[in-house]
Structure 1
Amino acid sequence: MLSRAQARLRPRSSRAILRQNHDRLYHDESFGFRKPRPFSVPDYTPEQLANRSVNAPLQRYVDSLRMHGHRAASIDPLDLLQREEVAALNPDRYGLDKTATYCIDGIIWTGSKEPEWWPLDKITRHLRETYVGRIAYEYMHSPSKTERLWFSHLLESTKEGEAGGSTMSEEDSKRRIWELLARSEVLDQFLQLKFPNLKRYGLEGGESMIPALDALFSAASFAGIEHVILAMPHRGRLNLLLDLLRFSPTALFHKVKGGSEIPEELDVSGDVVSHLFTSNSIAYPGANNPIKVTLLPNPSHLEAVNPVAMGKTRAKQFSLLESSDADCTLGDKVMCVQLHGDASFTGQGVVMESLGLSNLPHYTSGGSVHIVVNIGYTTPASSARSSLYCSDIGKMIHAPVLHVNGDHPEDVQRAIRVAFKYRNHFRKDVIIDLLVYRRWGHNELDEPGFTQPQMYSKIRARKSIPSLYEEKLLEQKVVTTDEIFKFRKEYKDVLEGHLAKTDDYLPKAEMLQDRWSSMVWPASKEADHAPDTGVDVEVLRGVGKASVHVPADFDLHPRLQRHIKSRVQSLDSGSGIGWGTAEALAFGSLMKEGYSVRISGQDVGRGTFSHRHAMLVDQTTEGIFVPLNEASDSEGKLELANSSLSEMAVLGFEYGFSWESPNFLPIWEAQFGDFFNGSQVIIDTFISSAETKWLKQSGITVLLPHGLDGAGPEHSSMRIERFLQLTDDDFSGATKNVNMHIVNPTTAGQYFHLLRRQMKRNYRKPLIVAAPKSLLRAAVASSTLKDLAPGTKFEPILDDLSGPRNVKTVVLCSGKIYYDLRREREARELDRDVALIRVEELSPFPFEELWSTLKEYVNRSSQEPQFVWVQEEARNQGPWTHVRERMNNVLREIQVGSPIQYWGRRVSAVPAVGVGRKYKDEQREVVEGAFAGARR
């Protein structure tokens, strides 16, 4: 049976989206569910179709305005866009009679139930007001007839043209816009006056962003949405925090003056002022419930936060749907909002990757609203993109685009409400291209006139958007001059009051709240770093057999019969537990304890090396069956997300998933270890640093197949040296609270305990696994059920001798090279002379365990043993540069006079050679030389 969340968490996107006039389908492979969604807009009646045929020239004219109106619209506040004369908008091209009246039934949607007859000038006026004004619509590129009809109905109907989302009167709505604009401008002016050298990335010229978001949050609140997950870059971030999200001005000024946003006793780095974040509720009069807006922390790498927001959005929806009894579906309660800059939206590849996830099974989150704050970059648009609009990349998923002139905030809010209506109905992405400008350069200390003199001569000569809107409201007698002066002065006085309080301000740690309240800070005394992760053997047998149980009528692939038989035999005998079996036992046992597991990547259902087979496909029907999800006593669920060929967006998505709840175990598996290269920004700016910058814990687990096996420069190394360089693991072993754990396990049992440790600890840390390739089916790497039983746990050091002996050489290594060394030792009959020690956990470095192990060898040897580090990676790669100084510290502690020596490949520009014969010669030299006494 499916869980409530799984039954509801179905994307409303279509695998057949390119098939015009085809209804979209709910489809999620892991759930095997398909259900057509009915048309929401009625199709043409026979009478309307006949009228369209009779008035075909008029239909062509109307469609041309819908298609090309945006090219002539007044959407540029600076009037710098070179707008061509659009011949397609001229009615003379279509042979229309200017003196005739036309039946517009089925051609133009007015909201009338009866046919109407309009003269050509009225038709032209109506359509130009709709499509050639200060909002320009691009939706005719959609292959969906339903969506095109929906837009034309909404925009052209005189009754349905206004999109709702508020109970305010027109006057109150205008006052609300004015107050938001004025507050934004006062804040920017205040910061400029008090902190003239601050790079604050203010919103001058783009103040319409604030009422735009206000209209979006209001419309969402009235539609019943309870949570908004918001991702945005630095531009206007401080304005949004203070003017809409009620962030403390005292906290902001404290940070601007050089203070920390985090209590100093936590001893973390914090982040710059333009990366501040918050989570707050906004109550809109008339809405049933307040809406909680969570502004995510973000790095300076523009757009990197987009997939993180998408992943957190889906995870929150999963949590809410799982615990809710209400009849709701994907996107009803949670919405993702992404703000972008125009240059980065076009230029950053993660945008394309993230858009590519938006309609996929396991990744859709019910549609994101994208707002491109089109402020222009210091590079002119002609050099920044090859497309007409910065939003054109959204057409890859046929997303509608609404371009709007930011000088007119009322039009901005209308565009927002239309966009939200589309998202909420179709649960697909929509883009608002908000054309504004920046009064300053890239930051307040920049001089943009160096490269854009004409633009900035115009900008400096014009009034601000708040001032222009105030003039409009003064003419309409909505506000008075005294009100404007008083409102601005009062807000400035409020800011002055908060600034005066900064010297006494003490920041609070906003962490481990809501779903994270059961967790502890990893550096605290309560942190349990090495919990017992063993499981009762009979429970494991039950889980293991459930992992390969298939219904009698299921047409299983013939080659998988051996896979099932082998797993059952190993469970019955209690030995030969291979990598895939150990993983299934870890997943299944965690699910029995209430944890949910999500593993994503390319082909993760069967595994890149065909070792997993957690998802079975019926060979007749292609129906999907996930055996572990059918276990009746499992509270948690397993989601197997076969992903697109993306690394950065997919890893970012899973990382965002990990932020939602400590009860999720999100795993990303790369096809080969070096594929993480494409997601390096996520690793650098989120995974390795979020805890120390933002106090954000994450249990993300990254599986990176690693090991030299003749595959050539690529597909050999997961570049473990790079991950080790990113750790804050010190050289003394004084603390185990490192930013992430990096392991290179060599047995199936060790992998089992690592997965369970991720959930059984009372805190969360990212886990980077140098996952095996050749060991996946190797008998020597298998484990027994006793290795997984209660009282067992992950061991950071494995000593292969039953007890220390009078050895001459102690060889230390990490990873699969151990098995090659063991075979060579046996062949040379050096078991009594050479000890082999595996370092299974490289970060945090196991000082205590290594000290106690090596101390015994020193104490029991008649002469000081020789200590050697052996690795198959090149000297400038692999763990050597990380372990050398740390091991020497341990050796000095146990009073060994000589430092550890290195044996392995020489320095190299590539992880491995591409010539098979040369690889074998090198590998033989590494293994044999480890016992020959020669050292490099």
Structure 2
Amino acid sequence: MLKIAVANIIQIIKALNTYLAQRRLSKSEKFGTSAASNKESFLNGDSKEYIEDMYKAWLRDPSSVHASWDAYFRERDYQRPPTLEPVLVKKQLAPTNTPKTTVRTAATAPSVSNPASPKEIDEHLNVQAIIRSYQVRGHLVARTNPLYEMFDINDKTTSLSEKFGKSPPEVIRYHKIESSMMNTPFLLPESTRIGGSETSLPLKEIVKRLELAYCRHIGIEYMYINDVERCNWLREHFEVPGVVSLNKAEKRLLLTRLARAVLFEKFLQRKWPSEKRFGIEGCEIMIPCIKTIIDTCSQLDGEMIILGMAHRGRLNVLANICRKPLKKIFAQFHGLEPEDEGSGDVKYHLGVYAERKNNVTNKMVKIVLVANPSHLEEGHSVCQGRVRAEQFYLNDDEQKKVIPILMHGDAAFCGEGICYETINLSNLTNYKTGGTIHIVVNNQIGFTTDPRFSRSAPYCTDIAKVVNAPVFHVNSDDPESAIYVSKIAAMWRQKFKTDVVIDIVCYRKHGHNEADEPMFTQPVLYTKIKGMKNVWEKYCEAAKQQGIVTDAEINAYRDTYDKICELEFAKAAKETTVRFGDWIDSPWKHFFKNKDMTKCEPTGVSLDVIKHIATKFSTPPPGDFLIHKNLQRILRLRMDMVKNETIDWALGEALTFGSLLKEGVHVRLSGEDVERGTFSHRHHVLHHQTKDKTRYTYLRDLYPDQASYTVSNSPISEYGVLGFEHGYSMVNPHSLIIWEAQFGDFANNGQTMFDTMICSGQSKWIRQCGMVCLLPHGLEGQGPEHSSARVERYLELCADDPDYLPPDFTNLAMKQLFDINWIVANCTTPANYFHLLRRQIKLPFRKPLMLMTPKSLLRHPEARSNFSEMKEGWGCFDSCEKLFGH
């Protein structure tokens, strides 16, 4: 018995070594044919003797071996005859939703006189390795590319080997199982769900079911996820036989939605054949996928969907997802002058906000499409900030009501750094949004560049693995599979609150835009594409074979939709102007109502409020919270200032935040090291000196009915975090959202966000923003990247025409503030800082504030203000006059 037990352990170790070697295999190697060298094997010639010695010692005295060996030998239960059952795992590592299996009893187990042979054990472990091979690498041979030969959509039972004549499969030969074993039944391990309610299957059926699950039109990547429950959940939704299917009603709904997506593009192509519109021909299935996600999220408590995307397919999304009136979309093609002030923007950059009833759930759903510049992925971090803010104001603590969906191009998703900066926020406490559903329009080209020249990874989606997001690669010309993975992606997001990726492998019917000639650079590819039928036509043929739809119904729907488009086209021809205000993606209800745009409310506060906040901010945390001795000194100095009614920079900032919190204004401060402050001056978050991860945050308990205060260190990111905070600031004008650069010079990492979003957002999209950027600067000997915030750059972006002055000089200062793109300021006293930040809320409109903040002045004895400079009656425009008489 000991010999068999040791052999069993050795076989397990061999299996583990095989698995480790498999994980090191390059994805570019042919599936199941190349073995990796196992140079790191922990099984050597001494292992058998070592295990025997350990086992003998354990038999004599279990306490004589390490606790891990004791637990292992106990769990293996070597006192009974060995069987072919899978090795049991500890309860805390076991899946919580394992299928029911038939456990062998003593009557059915091999007897001591006839135990399982090492060969049988080896065969059983090889079968487990085969199962794992498909789970890990099945996606490599899945038929996800619509440009290659596909399975018949209506045929759900033909496997990869049967379709392409590989029998026995190469993976079987690789694991050295003889073809004569194909009809031999094997017990199924708990790591698979291909059996459904069955506990054993013939090897031939095991392989077939694995190929049906992993090697048809869906390729699944998930085995890097380090959570057993999540892996088993995915197996239950992809491995169980027959689970990937739609009923008749779902198929008819899919036909209808697919028809709208395809016919909309055809109508635009017919009316404006040479006009740039960045259509989605070749990936029209994206529209039904998004609608399916919205349906599923609505069923699972979703109330608001926030979409972020670049230009490709945006018009189709506006028409068929957001239901923007077609006449307004068509009017954009006529080159009409805008009614609104500002530059406006091209039609495929515009956003929208809509509320509509979901026809599947009969619930109202808010849909937001965030406006985006030409920089493909830039709007995605903005979208995430928008989602987080909506969740905050809706008290969506479970993060189930507001769901982000981001659409990407394949080249941009793997090529642009903003994608990683945004994905990296997904699990951070003060930035996560409960998971994002990513949809990649993988048309296998970036403008004119092939994937082999644009990425180093096997897949454009590999970036998602850093956050353990499952990836579903799906063939765009199999609509039913695409709809199914969309539903599963939405369920995953609502259940596990993490990111998930749908990689729609498709093609691009035209060039980069409709006027571009793709045959210059991809002649072979586009010769193939020119002969492709669109996905609606293909699916109509499949649906007719199933008896889902008739030719008459197909023709009737085509005619009906064309009539709708022609009617809206005629209405659009009567339009004389366009209003970009109709495309605003963040409406502020009632904010501008009954406001005088030339008047600013006073920014001072009462002395009682000043003293109360200053005292609370200068008092050590309650109880036995042990703080650093230097912080004790800082708090004593603060309290001395309070007694003398003077303030330094940090105290002035705290008075600003605290007074706004008292007035019900939400304050959020984010950036690198903002909790302490880059220059160790702020200290809004204190850390217990003997208890790890025990923190105390000032300003959160000033008043029982105050607004919420968030202060959060950000990751080392300017571009992504700056965009996130900009998106956060878009949601509610009654909030003070601040991003602070570690040094002002570092803000240039986010220069694109400044240029295309924060500075020009109002001009392009009639969207105001009141966010504040704090940019520390000062020539104090810290080197060229720690000195200048490049204030000249921000000043250049203040206005389109620096020589323009309002014709009416009455209230000139307010009119100038209203007309410029943003405010650039440099404060030298805490009182200036106090009034300027409070003015951001008191203005009757919203403007971004680029504030050059000091370094040495933070503690300079001359850079002080007194309480009287902040009291009621003082304002931002008159403080200089009262102090200096001019």
TM-score when scaled to structure 2? 0.80
1:61 corresponds, among 130, 140, 145, to 130
User: Residue deviations 1:877-929, cap 9 Å, x none?
Assistant: xxxxxxxxxxxxxxxxxxxxxxxxxxxxxxxxxxxxxxxxxxxxxxxxxxxxx
CA distance 1:111–1:594, shift in 2 (3 Å): farther
Match of 2:838 among 750, 756, 769: 756
* Stretch of structure 1 that moved more, 482-491 or 236-245: 482-491
User: Which of 289, 309, 315 in structure 2 is aligned with 1:232?
Assistant: 309
- Quickly say closer, same or farther: Cα 1:39–1:654, change in 2 above 3 A: farther
Give me the whole-angstrom Cα distance separating, in 2, the residues matched to 1:80 and 1:381.
Answer: 20
**1:79 positional shift:** 2.1
Amino acid at match of 2:174: R
SS of residue in 2 equivalent to 1:668: strand
Map 1:357-396 → 2, pairs under 5 A: 357-377=425-445, 378-396=448-466
Which of 185, 189, 204 does residue 101 from structure 1 map onto? Answer: 185
Q: Find 1:207's aligned residue among 284, 289, 303.
A: 284
Q: Which runs of 5+ in 1 are unaligned?
A: 1-36, 164-168, 322-327, 804-852, 854-936
The letter for the 1-side match of 2:427 is N
Kindly indicate whether residue 288 of structure 2 is the aligned counterpart of residue 218 of structure 1.
no
Mapped pair 1:701 → 2:778: no
Contact 1:314-1:365 within 8 A present in 2 as well = yes
**Which of 35, 38, 41 does residue 96 from structure 2 map onto?**
41
Query: Contact 2:210/2:239 (CA < 8 Å) preserved in 1?
Result: yes
Change in Cα spacing, 1:420 to 1:49, as seen in structure 2 (3 Å) is: farther
What is the SS of the residue equivalent to 2:874?
coil
User: CA, structure 1 residues 66+746, in 2 after alignment: closer, same or farther (shift >3 Å)?
Assistant: same
Deviation at 1:143, TM superposition (A): 2.3
SS at match of 2:629: coil
| 1:638 maps to 2:693 | no
Q: Residue 289 of structure 1 corresponds to which residue in structure 2?
A: 363
CA distance 1:461–1:504, change in 2 (3 Å): closer
Question: Using a 3 Å threshold, how does the CA distance of structure 1 residues 223 and 40 change in structure 2: closer, same or farther?
Answer: farther
Q: Is the 8 A contact 1:602 1:645 kept in 2?
A: yes
Residue 801 of structure 1: CA displacement? 8.6
Please name the residue that 2:874 is paired with: 792
How far did residue 485 of structure 1 move? 2.0
CA drift at 1:748? 0.6
1:887 counterpart residue number: none
Distance 1:586 1:350 in 2: 32
The code of the aligned residue for 1:118 comes to L
Contact 2:388–2:728 (CA under 8 A) maintained in structure 1: yes
Shift of 1:280: 2.2
Confirm or deny: 8 A CA contact 1:135 1:405 kept in the other structure: yes
Q: Does the alignment pair 1:675 with 2:746?
A: yes
User: Which one-letter code corresponds to 2:489 in the other structure?
Assistant: A
The amino acid that maps onto 2:644 is S
Q: Which residue of 2 aligns with 1:12?
A: none
Match of 1:456 among 526, 530, 542: 526
Q: CA deviation at 1:459?
A: 0.4
Pairing 1:319–2:393 present: yes
1:436 aligns to 2:503 (yes or no): no
The C-alpha deviation readout for 1:653-680, integer Å capped at 9, x for no partner, is 0001001111221111010001111111
Asked if residue 552 in structure 1 is aligned to residue 623 in structure 2, the reply is: yes
8 Å Cα contact 1:658-1:700 kept in structure 2:
yes
Q: Which residue of 1 aligns with 2:332?
A: 255
Deviation readout 1:182-202 (Å, 9 max, x if unpaired): 222222222222222310001
Q: CA deviation at 1:43?
A: 6.2
- Residue from 596, 601, 604 that aligns with 1:531: 601
Q: Report whether the alignment pairs 1:731 with 2:803.
A: yes
In the superposition, relative to structure 1, how do residues 797 and 724 fare at CA in structure 2: closer, same or farther (>3 Å)?
Answer: farther
1:100 maps to a residue whose letter is: T
Residues 778 and 854 in structure 2, CA contact (< 8 A), matched pair in contact too = yes
Structure 1 residues 98-107 or 283-292, which shifts more? 283-292
Which position in structure 1 is the counterpart of 2:173?
Answer: 92
Q: Distance in 2 between matches of 1:513 and 1:380?
A: 34
Counterpart pick for 2:199 among 100, 110, 116: 116
Q: Which moved more, 1:580-589 or 1:543-552?
A: 543-552
Q: Give the C-alpha shift of residue 286 in structure 1.
A: 5.0
Q: 1:618 deviation in Å?
A: 0.9
- Write the distance in 1 (CA, Å) between the matches of 2:187 and 2:541: 42
Decide whether aligned partners of structure 1 residues 39 and 218 sit closer, same or farther in structure 2, where only a CA change above 3 A counts.
farther
Aligned AA (1:742): V
Whether 1:651 aligns to 2:722 is yes
What's the offset of the Cα at 1:89? 5.9
Aligned to 1:419: 489
- The letter of the residue matching 2:432 is T
Contact 2:185–2:200, Cα closer than 8 Å, also in 1: yes
| Inter-CA distance 64–771: structure 2 relative to 1 (3 Å threshold) | same
2:191–2:232 CA contact under 8 A, matched in 1:
no
Distance between the aligned counterparts of 2:601 and 2:882, measured in 1?
23
For the 8 Å contact 2:442–2:505, the answer to whether it is kept is yes
Match of 1:836 in 2: none
Change (3 A) 1:250 1:457: same
Change (3 A) 1:374 1:792: same
**Equivalence for 1:766:** 848
Structure 1 pair 284–86 and aligned structure 2 pair: CA distance change class (3 A)? farther
Partner-residue secondary structure (3-state), 2:730: helix
Counterpart secondary structure, 2:305:
strand
Show CA shifts across 1:579-635 (max 9, x none). Answer: 000000000110011111111111110100011011111111131111211223342
Q: Identify if the C-alpha distance between structure 1 residues 740 and 57 changes in structure 2 by more than 3 Å, giving closer, same or farther.
A: same
Q: C-alpha separation between the residues in 1 aligned to 2:281 and 2:565?
A: 18
Deviates more, 1:607-616 or 1:85-94: 85-94
How far, CA to CA, are the matches of 2:704 and 2:585 in structure 1? 29
Tell me whether 1:267 sits opposite 2:341 in the alignment: yes
Q: Deviations over 1:725-758 (max 9, x none)?
A: 1121632432321121110111111111111111
Answer yes or no: is 1:278 the counterpart of 2:352.
yes
**Within 1, Cα distance between the matches of 2:682 and 2:455?**
43
Instruction: Report the Cα distance in structure 2 between the residues aligned to 1:364 and 1:212, rounded to whole angstroms.
Output: 24
- Equivalent position amino acid for 1:658 in 2: S
Identity of aligned residues (%): 37
Secondary structure of 2:233 counterpart: helix
Question: How many Å separate the matches in 2 of 1:44 and 1:110?
Answer: 11
Aligned-partner Cα distance in 2 for 1:730–1:186: 48
- Contact 1:666/1:700, CA 8 A, preserved across alignment: yes
Deviation at 1:53, TM superposition (A): 7.7
Q: Which runs of 5 or more residues in structure 2 are unaligned?
A: 1-91, 110-119, 151-159, 807-814
Deviates more, 1:641-650 or 1:656-665: 656-665
Q: 1:593 aligns with which of 663, 666, 684?
A: 663
Which residue of structure 2 lines up, in the alignment, with residue 834 of structure 1?
none
Distance in 1 between residues matched to 2:564 and 2:196, nearest whole Å: 52
Give the number of aligned pairs.
Answer: 748
- Aligned residue runs from structure 1 range 557-576, under 5 A: 557-575=628-646
Computed over aligned residues only, the root mean square deviation of the Cα atoms, in angstroms, reads 2.8
**Paired AA for residue 301 in structure 2:** G
1:281, CA displacement in angstroms?
3.2
Q: Normalising to structure 1: TM-score of the pair?
A: 0.76
Mapped to 2, the partners of 1:453 and 1:272 lie a distance apart of 30
Mapped to 2, the partners of 1:543 and 1:187 lie a distance apart of 59
- Who is 1:911 aligned against? none
Corresponding residue of 1:918 = none
Q: Which moved more, 1:288-297 or 1:667-676?
A: 288-297
Residue 518 of structure 1 and its aligned partner are, at CA, apart by 3.6
Paired residues of 1:540 and 1:585 also in contact (CA < 8 A): yes
Higher mean C-alpha displacement, 173-182 vs 532-541: 173-182
Residues 111 and 157 in structure 1, CA contact (< 8 A), matched pair in contact too: yes
Q: Distance in 1 between matches of 2:757 and 2:149?
A: 38
Contact kept, 8 Å, 2:666 with 2:734, in 1: the verdict is: yes
What do the CA deviations read for 1:129-162 (whole angstroms, capped 9, x no partner)? Answer: 0001100000001222332222223322248x35
TM superposition shift of 1:102 = 0.8
Kindly indicate whether the alpha-carbon contact (under 8 Å) linking 1:313 and 1:334 is maintained by their aligned counterparts in 2.
yes
Q: For 1:69 and 1:699, locate their aligned partners in 2 and report how far apart those are by CA, in whole Å.
A: 50
The residue identity in structure 2 corresponding to 1:202 is G
Three-state SS of the structure 2 residue aligned to 1:768 is: strand
2:822 matches 1:745:
no
SS in 2 for 1:501: helix
Partner deviation per Cα, 1:210-238 (whole Å, 9 max, x = no partner): 11111111111111100111001111111
**CA shift for structure 1 position 128:** 0.5
Equivalent residue in structure 1 for 2:757, among 667, 686, 691: 686
